[in-house]
Structure 1
Amino acid sequence: MNIMDIIIGFILGSVEGLTEFAPVSSTGHMILVGHLLGFEGTVRATTFEVVVQLGSILAVVVAFWKRILNIVGLRKIETEDQDMGKLSYIHILIGILPFFLLGAVFYNFIKTLFSPQTVVVSLIAGGILMLVAEGFRKPRPTATTLDQITYKQALGMGCFNA
């Protein structure tokens, strides 16, 4: 490992950290920045992308550990957490179902989409769709917390994310 590897790791890690919780594609941004830095297509580059995204997943687990333990049934809801019980693993399964179905059907096609050119087009199209969706949003959200999300809303979020 040389100093350039450390710099690339810092840059890509920063891109992942800044975009993971924003409504944009953190993977897409990492693909673009990796391409600009010439860090792509190798086992090292792919492994780095997987590991840095595992860091983001770990951050979610740390931030929501009480809720996660509650969902999987390993934590009893305490008095001050009475509202933390309505979101269930069923919501999560319904929300990820569209990913599994589309992934199973279109796996080979999806693998061809991870090029910088496709990512640029997708990010622009996604940005336009977000602006259009913002114009159609209801004045009041129907769910203001995670615990108010219905199964139908979980499925809708899964479909739109997929």
Structure 2
Amino acid sequence: MNLIHVIILAIIEGITEFLPVSSTGHMIIASSVMGIAADPFVKLFTIAIQLGAILSVVILYWKRFLQSVNFYLKLFIAFIPAAVFGVLFSKKIDALLESVYVVGITLFVGGIILLFVDKWFNKPTVKQEKDISNLTAFKIGFFQCLAMIPGTSRSAATIVGGMTQKLNRTAAAEFSFFLAVPTMFAATAKKLYDFHKEGHIFTGEEIKLLAIGNVIAFIVAMLAIKTFITFLERKGFKIFGWYRIIVGAIIIGLMLSGHQLQNI
């Protein structure tokens, strides 16, 4: 992995982290296309790069993070299912993270679902995060577990999960953003722990690449979040559904035609 790879992946992360299109899936695809060699640092990078994007949520919504203890209680409750599933199935999740084919299938299937969610859940009663109950937060947390399958999209899973619980699109999207903070922080901490537990030590170059990647992801994500919320309020999910279907179909088509896409 070189600096050009890092810049491209960081831009992809910043744009896609909060869109319902799967940031991890796109980074797996981009890594495959660029021929980035599979090694422990690359796998760590695809997770750790998300910290920069997550920091943008804290900066943009800083007032929400200072409003009440109940806010953090809801995030903790929603985080519990992913924490449990992540510990129980970490090895299987790591194996799935290597597969471009899994990404293609989940992008396609998830795209079909996004074509219809606006019609399925068109009578919301919860319009603000403060009105989300602890039980609702817990239920949304189970939807987040679906995102452990690469290509599903943590954002898509939690937003749709929120809409099933009567949240409107904006409230569901913002709660998804907030829930990303503890979830991705924990995922990165776990990945860093495993990286060092396996005897790996960061080189100076790797530290530099991680720093540059996170800064770029932070800047790009700051712009992407506000744009996404505005677009979502006006247009809904259908365009993201078609995008996922097209990208997923291309990957599946390449797979069925015998092209060997490189896993990471």
Q: Using structure 1 for the length normalisation, give the TM-score.
A: 0.77
Distance 1:144 1:112, change over 3 A: same
* Cα contact 1:16–1:52 (8 A) shared by 2: yes
Report the Cα distance in structure 2 between the residues aligned to 1:97 and 1:46, rounded to whole angstroms.
Answer: 24
Q: C-alpha distance in 2, partners of 1:60/1:41?
A: 30
Pairwise CA distance, 1:121:
1.2
- After superposition, the Cα gap between the structure-2 partners of 1:23 and 1:71, relative to the gap in structure 1 and judged at 3 Å, is farther
In 2, Cα distance between the equivalents of 1:156 and 1:105? 19
On the 8 A contact 1:31/1:40 being kept in 2, the answer is no
Q: Structure 2: state its 5+ residue gaps.
A: 146-264
Q: Tell me which of 5, 10, 27 is aligned to 2:7.
A: 10
Q: How does 1:1-162 map to 2 (within 5 A)?
A: 5-71=2-68, 88-114=71-97, 115-139=99-123, 141-162=124-145
What letter is aligned with 2:45?
A: F
1:50-93 superposed Cα distances (whole Å, 9 cap, x missing partner): 44211112111211222223345xxxxxxxxxxxxxx5212101
- Secondary structure of the equivalent of 1:65? coil
The percentage of aligned residue pairs carrying the same residue is 36
Structure 2 vs 1, CA of residues 133 and 39 (structure 1 numbering), >3 Å: closer, same or farther? same
Distance change >3 Å, CA 96–CA 40, structure 1 → 2: farther
Change (3 A) 1:117 1:43: same
Higher helix share: 2
- Aligned residues: CA RMSD: 2.1
Change (3 A) 1:109 1:51: closer
TM-score (norm 2): 0.49
Asked whether the 8 Å contact 1:99–1:158 carries over to 2, the reply is yes
Give the number of the structure whose alpha-carbon radius of gyration is greater: 1
State the shift of 1:40 in Å: 4.5
Q: Which string of whole-angstrom CA distances, capped at 9 and with x for unpartnered residues, describes residues 93-124 of structure 1? A: 12111101222222222221111111111111
Higher relative CO (Cα under 8 Å, sequence separation at least 6) belongs to 2
Structure 1 residues 49 and 110, CA gap change in structure 2 (3 angstroms): closer
- Show structure 1 runs of 5+ residues with no match: 73-86
Runs of 4+ in structure 1 over 4 Å off: none
